Amino acid sequence: MKILILGGTLITMGEDNPVIEEGGLLIEDGNITFVGKRSEAEGYDADRTIEAEGKYVLPGFFNMHTHMFQVLLRTVGADMILLDWLKTAIWPIVPKMSYEDVYNAAILAIAENIRSGVTTILEMHYGNPHFEAVLKAFEDTGIRGYLSRGFYEVEAYEKLREKADDVLENLEYLMKKYENVMPGPMHPCFVSNDLLKASKELADRYGCHYYTHLAESEEDVQLLIKREGLRDAELLHKLEILDEKFIGVHACRLSPTEIKYLSETRSNTVHCPTSNMYIADGVSPVPELLSKGVNVTLATDGSASTGRQDFFSEMKTAALLHKVYNDDPRAITAKQILQMATVNGAKALNIKSGILKPGYKADIVILDPWRLNMVYAHEPVSSTVYSATPENVETVIVEGKILMENRELKTINEQEALRKAYKSAKKLLS
């Protein structure tokens, strides 16, 4: 199918031609085949034409870390430190979730992500065996989804612990059956060195990424130091786990040595500013990581520690956090934030997306700035980061498939999703 998008301002995220006024874009069989001026694009034939005059057209966002089941647990355990929050508010509930609960939560979370301009989700699911419910939700909604198969082995809540052989057997089953699955040790302190290494060997055998919470809070870092005498990234470096396919989430409590290891191995990190502030984990040194060649991406984290799946909120929060933390408004720019949201996410997952360019996947968001919060914004990149909200998202396309058009979800019955998720949440929290 050919889709032609005409008019509007193209925020391409390409270095050679970042913004094109009065642009045009052609999609064929899920890929972008033309990007340029409207006057040139009008010469192409298409099955569908989308008029984007006065709109912003940009690459879809990569939400590189969430726990979708947590949309059923919003604000549960509010105002607690990380391990207390996990032990009292999250861990006791997660094992009680049925396949239906996990699926209902995933559909609702995906709907919220689509409305926030997200075209790729990396979900870290844990605590119950319903990983295939997540994968089914990805398939049913058309969003590009990756699953990090989370696991606890030691130290954690008893009902969440799994035996190493069971984890590896299930991981291999999922990796054989599905694309886009990767190991997800929940924290290095909750998994033995043997299982950390064995799951990395399995990931390498299947060409998968390796994904874990990394140096999230001082409390979990100290648990590992007590066990190993090493901090998170120090241990992972010793075990030869850090590389270009490593994705470490949070990265708040990094030592200079750990930053050096992440840089030397070209590893990836995921910044979750709202969650880190909500639980007071700390502040990831994002400007320093970027300056040293670490590929930093962006995410919402789960709704139990952020309140909602609002990617625009994460972009703005990330920008403001590092400006005030570094006492310098130049510490990070809107352009860098938008790169983290698009280009860097695609780079971390090694897929050809995140840029509006011929040959790249047609993962596209159309924003309508003709609203009270954006009208007459002078610079499109800055206004996307600092002014836009999910209310500005008009159309979302994933690999050429329209998931939302004129703010109407095409693959999800929103009212049905709300009813089913509410029913699951009410049951779990009663």
Instruction: Give dist(CA 233, CA 221) in Å, integer.
Output: 10
Give the residue ranges of the chain where pLDDT is below 50.
Answer: none
DSSP letters along 297-354, please? EE----TTTTSS--HHHHHHHHHHHHHHHTT-TTSS-HHHHHHHHTHHHHHHHT-S-S
Instruction: Give dist(CA 242, CA 220) in Å, integer.
Output: 19
Instruction: Give dist(CA 380, CA 378) in Å, integer.
Output: 7
Residue for token pair 């009208």: 375
| pLDDT score, position 158 | 85
| pLDDT score, position 385 | 98
Please tell me whether residue 11 adopts helix, strand or coil conformation: strand
Structure tokens at 278: 């909500």
| pLDDT score, position 156 | 82
| pLDDT score, position 75 | 82
| pLDDT score, position 82 | 79
Domains and CATH numbers, the chain: 2-60+353-409 (2.30.40.10), 61-349 (3.20.20.140)
Describe the crossing of helices 164-177 and 131-141 by its angle, rounded to 10 degrees: 20
| pLDDT score, position 266 | 98
Which residues touch 310 (CB under 8 Å, ≥6 apart)? Answer: 112, 116, 300, 389, 390
Region label for 418, one of left (φ > 0), alpha (ψ between -120 and 50) or beta (otherwise): alpha
| pLDDT score, position 159 | 87
Per-residue CA distances from 301 to 66, 343, 367 (Å): 4, 19, 23
| pLDDT score, position 81 | 82
Q: How far is CA 111 from the centre of its chain?
A: 14
Instruction: Give dist(CA 259, CA 91) in Å, integer.
Output: 30
Of 335, 314, 331, nearest in space to 382 by CA: 335
| pLDDT score, position 196 | 99
Tens-place pLDDT, residues 139-170 = 999 999 999 999 999 988 888 999 999 999 99
